[in-house]
Structure 1
Amino acid sequence: MEIINKIEASGIQTLDLRLYKPNDKDFEVFDIVPFLIEDFLLQEKAFRLEMANIDWSQYSGKEVIITCSNDAIVPLWAYVLISSLIAPHASIVVYSATENPINLLWMERIRKIEFSAFMSQKVVLKANSSLPEEILVLAAGQLIKYVQTLMWGEAGSPLMIYKRK
């Protein structure tokens, strides 16, 4: 008697979004605080000079989070300037004022998934309580543009979320 794997035979593809989560070694943080006078004051001329002296190629191919680690009031143009200097080198540049910026990078990675590979497929988003809502919402919003069926849970007992009519 032949054993048949019903899950495999169903054609359901599982997408585990945890595989796209960055870990602490995946990204660099560019903190603006060391470039502020007494950690709180930005002097334009000195700041621009310091930015001009940085070797931005050190960020080549890296994911970079720009942040200010204290409550200094930094003019927005400063972040734009830093981004314009890092972006030609980095693979991703984001700004985060939160203590947990990883979700921003995680979302950028989700946006880069080639969702068209799931065209007319049955897809189950693998359930896990560690997945942040913003990651799930982003992925689901992209998947429904392509999939025939979107489910949640495990391939053996998924919960139906969306079915193309």
Structure 2
Amino acid sequence: MLREKSFRKQVAEIDWSQYKGDRVLVRGCAEVVIPTWAFLILTAQLAQFVDRIYFGELHSAVKIFTKENN
């Protein structure tokens, strides 16, 4: 079972800048239930650096975030 406190700690240790300007696909897992809050935490971190975030499978991904160009 995924625990929020330890998950947040691990997420905080990732260098998210490595994804700067990228398009990222966030995928779920059919075998393990991933809580919605985990996807929200990842998306919030990624949105600071990436150009686009998609969710789902590669061939049917849904765009959930696009960085605005200022």
TM-score tier after normalising by the smaller chain length: 0.7 to 0.9
What residue in structure 2 maps to residue 44 of structure 1?
4
Aligned ranges for residues 123-162 of structure 1 at < 5 Å?
Answer: none
Matches of 1:49 and 1:72, distance apart in 2: 20
The answer to whether structure 1 residue 89 and structure 2 residue 69 are counterparts is no
Give the aligned residue type for 2:23.
Answer: E
Aligned ranges for residues 64-75 of structure 1 at < 5 Å?
Answer: 64-75=24-35
What runs of 5+ residues in structure 1 fail to find an aligned partner?
1-40, 109-165
User: What SS does the aligned partner of 1:64 have?
Assistant: strand
User: What SS does the aligned partner of 1:93 have?
Assistant: strand
- Percent of paired sites with the same residue: 29
Q: What's the CA shift for 1:85?
A: 0.2
TM-score (norm 1): 0.35
Q: What's the CA shift for 1:58?
A: 0.8
**Aligned pair partner of 2:21 in 61, 78, 90:** 61
Q: What's the CA shift for 1:88?
A: 1.3
Matches of 1:60 and 1:102, distance apart in 2: 23
Give the aligned residue type for 2:24.
Answer: V
**Aligned pair partner of 1:80 in 40, 52, 56:** 40
What runs of 5+ residues in structure 2 fail to find an aligned partner?
64-70
Matches of 1:93 and 1:58, distance apart in 2: 15
**Shift >6 Å, 4+ stretches:** none
RMSD between aligned alpha carbons? 1.7
User: What SS does the aligned partner of 2:43 have?
Assistant: helix
User: What SS does the aligned partner of 1:71 have?
Assistant: coil
Q: What's the CA shift for 1:70?
A: 4.5
Q: How many residues align?
A: 63
What residue in structure 2 maps to residue 104 of structure 1?
61
What residue in structure 1 maps to residue 66 of structure 2?
none
User: What SS does the aligned partner of 2:25 have?
Assistant: strand
Q: Bigger relative contact order, structure 1 or 2, given CA contacts below 8 A and separation 6+?
A: 2
